[in-house]
Each structure stands twice: as structure tokens, then as C-alpha cells.
């Protein structure tokens, strides 16, 4: 068995959301420039005959996976809770052609947990999702760690 290594890739996307029934400014439709850091863990390939020799996972493969499962869906979308969508369906359908409806409030915390569930079972064999860090602003973020969610 080789040494376990973690690799991380950064992603950026724009997204708007509404926090239904929140007692603050975020109850209004507003957007953020999100940064997502995806960290996976595995043992680097140790086979000189393979092009991936020395890699845990090709960064381009990680990029493709995250783009497909998260960025393509959430970039330039409006994300709302199912309850908010029900009561504001007409307004929202006129305001956005790319609306994502979540079962719960689209907070940074709930988004990072949702992203983890979208990625966990899609990684190549031997590669595990280690952590996610989602920045909602340059100074505020939520983190998800696999070790906390066994």
C-alpha cells in the first residue's frame, strides 16, 4: 500500500438564492460569486506503464466530474427551497430559466452537503471524497468532511 495523498481543485460559479422566512437581508433574491474547493484522497498510481503514474486522480477528470455534477447545474441559477418555490412559482418562472429547487433552505451549509452527496458515489475506484469547502463570500464559507459524516 502506498502513501495516502489528498488533491484539491478550485471551482468558481455565480448563483442566486433566496432564504425563505429568514429574518435578514438574505430573505431577498440575491447572488454570490461562489468558490468551491473539492478535495479527494487516494494512493497515487504506481505503474510506469500508465499515463497516470504518480497521480491520485487526473485533475482534468476531477474537473469534468465536478462540472457535470455541480457547476453545470448551479452556475447562473436561482436556488430556492421547495416551500418557497410553491408559493412563488409564477414569479420565479418569469425571473429565471435556470431554477434549482432544494428540499431545504439553500444556505451555504445545505449547499455544501448537497454537493457532497452529488459527488460521493461518482469517483473512480480507490478515490474518496475527503472534503468540500464552499465560499459564499470572500470571508464566509461552509465545510463538509467525510470523516464527520460516516
Q: Quick one: residue 114, left, alpha or beta (phi over 0 = left, psi -120 to 50 = alpha)?
A: alpha
pLDDT at 89: 73
In the predicted structure, residue 2 carries a pLDDT above the cut 90: no
- Reported as a single tens digit per residue, the pLDDT across 114-136 is 999 999 999 999 999 999 999 99
In the predicted structure, residue 38 carries a pLDDT above the cut 90: yes
| Structural domains for the chain | 5-148 (3.30.479.10)
Give mean pLDDT, residues 10-37: 94
In the predicted structure, residue 1 carries a pLDDT above the cut 80: no
**Eight-state DSSP code of residue 68:** I
Provide the b/e sequence for 34-59 (b: ≥16 CB within 10 Å): bbbebbbbbeebeeeeeeeeeebbee
Amino acid at each position: 500500500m502506498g502513501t495516502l495523498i489528498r488533491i484539491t481543485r478550485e471551482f468558481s460559479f455565480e448563483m442566486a438564492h433566496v432564504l425563505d422566512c429568514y429574518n435578514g437581508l438574505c430573505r431577498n433574491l440575491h447572488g454570490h460569486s461562489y468558490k468551491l474547493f473539492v478535495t479527494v484522497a487516494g494512493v497515487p498510481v504506481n505503474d510506469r506503464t500508465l499515463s497516470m503514474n504518480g497521480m491520485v486522480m487526473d485533475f482534468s477528470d476531477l474537473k469534468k466530474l465536478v462540472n457535470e455534477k455541480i457547476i453545470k447545474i448551479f452556475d447562473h441559477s436561482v436556488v430556492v427551497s421547495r416551500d418557497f418555490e410553491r408559493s412563488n412559482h409564477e414569479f420565479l418562472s418569469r425571473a429565471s430559466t435556470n431554477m434549482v429547487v432544494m428540499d431545504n433552505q439553500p444556505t451555504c451549509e445545505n449547499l455544501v452537503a448537497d454537493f457532497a452527496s452529488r459527488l460521493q458515489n461518482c469517483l473512480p475506484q480507490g478515490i474518496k471524497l475527503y472534503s468540500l469547502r464552499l465560499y459564499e463570500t470572500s470571508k464566509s464559507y461552509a465545510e463538509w468532511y467525510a470523516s464527520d459524516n460516516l
